[in-house]
Every structure is written in C-alpha cells, then in structure tokens.
Structure 1
Amino acid sequence: MPETTTPATEPATKQAHTVDEAMRALNLSRQSLYDEINSGRLASYKYGSRRFVPVQAEIEWIGRMVADGGITTASRRAEKQAQRAAAE
C-alpha cells in the first residue's frame, strides 16, 4: 500500500515580530528600538512577558523615516533632554 502524505503548506506570514526580530528587520540596536517604542513612534504590544512589534507598524515606521529624513542622534538627544526637563 502506498504511503500517504499530506501536501506541503506554506507557512503563515508573521503578523508581528519579537524584539530581536524587529531589531534585525529595522537594523536597530535594542536601545534604539526601545527608544522608538517608548517615544510612541513605533507601536508594540506585550503578550505575557514578551513584547511584539506588529509588521504593519514596522512598515509604517519605515515610511515615516523615509518621509522625515530619519531620526538623527541630535534629535534624539534633544527629545531626551525635553523629557527630562518635563519630568523635573
């Protein structure tokens, strides 16, 4: 009797990335990724203790970076100073 096999199915497309996957996808360091998340520029969510970044949020973030010319170190520094001043 011939062996029956099931047809190969394509893997489902991921809808969200882990932090490590998002770091690789966006070419950002962990700190830069969390800076973008904490500033509200990059959406994310937690499921249990794990944080995920929706792929659509990554696509939108890239679009904004291209349109805005990116985020420079100086603009990040100025933003952090403004946050510290607001906290005092």
Structure 2
Amino acid sequence: MAAGLRPRSGVAGKVLYRVDEAITVLGLGRTALYELIRSGRLKSVQEGRTRLIPARAIEEYVALLERESGVSYGKTA
C-alpha cells in the first residue's frame, strides 16, 4: 500500500461493496439500489464488469437521508 493511503474504516470496515452487499447493508431491494445509482443519489464505480459501491458513498447517502429528514444526532435542543 502506498505511503499515506489507508483503507477508510467505513461501514463494517470495507472500502468497496458489491451490489448484493450494499443491498444488505442499506436494507433495500435491487431495483431501488440501481435507481439510486441511476439518479445519482448513490455513487458507484465500475471495475471491469463489476459495479461497486464505495463505503464512503454509503455513508454519504445515509447522511443525505438524515439531512432530508431533519434528523440530527449528538446535538442538544
């Protein structure tokens, strides 16, 4: 591994998730996950013919959902 590059301690410690794994992590169906990717709400990358979802993209999507719902954690009213 190059100096200064370390895997992020993302969701469950993985850096990239296959589609089936992301479906399980997010609790979504396959069609819903691909729609999120198509709409740009969930970022993904492609390695050869394999579609992968970065852990960071999952974290960003969850943060987006929290912002949209007005949920805030760790802040007192």
TM above 0.5: yes
Counterpart CA distance in 1 for 2:35 and 2:65 is 14
Relative contact order, higher structure (CA 8 A, sep 6+): 2
CA RMSD across the alignment: 0.8
Q: Which amino acid aligns with 2:63?
A: G
- Gaps (5+ residues) in structure 1? 1-12, 70-88
Aligned mates of 1:59, 1:45 — CA distance in 2:
15
Note the residue ranges of structure 2 that are not aligned, 5 or more in a row.
Answer: 1-12, 70-77
How far the C-alpha of 1:54 sits from its partner, in A, is 0.1
Pairs within 5 Å for 1:48-63:
48-63=48-63
Structure with higher helix content:
1
In the superposition, the TM-score normalised over structure 1's length comes to 0.62
Q: Runs in 1 of length 4+ with deviation above 4 angstroms? A: none
Name 1:16's counterpart in structure 2.
16
Task: State the alpha-carbon separation in 2 of the partners of residues 36 and 20 from structure 1.
Answer: 14
How many Å separate the matches in 2 of 1:45 and 1:22? 13
Give the CA deviation at 1:37: 0.3
Structure of larger gyration radius = 1
TM-score, normalization by structure 2: 0.71
How far the C-alpha of 1:53 sits from its partner, in A, is 0.1
Report how many aligned residue pairs link the two structures: 57
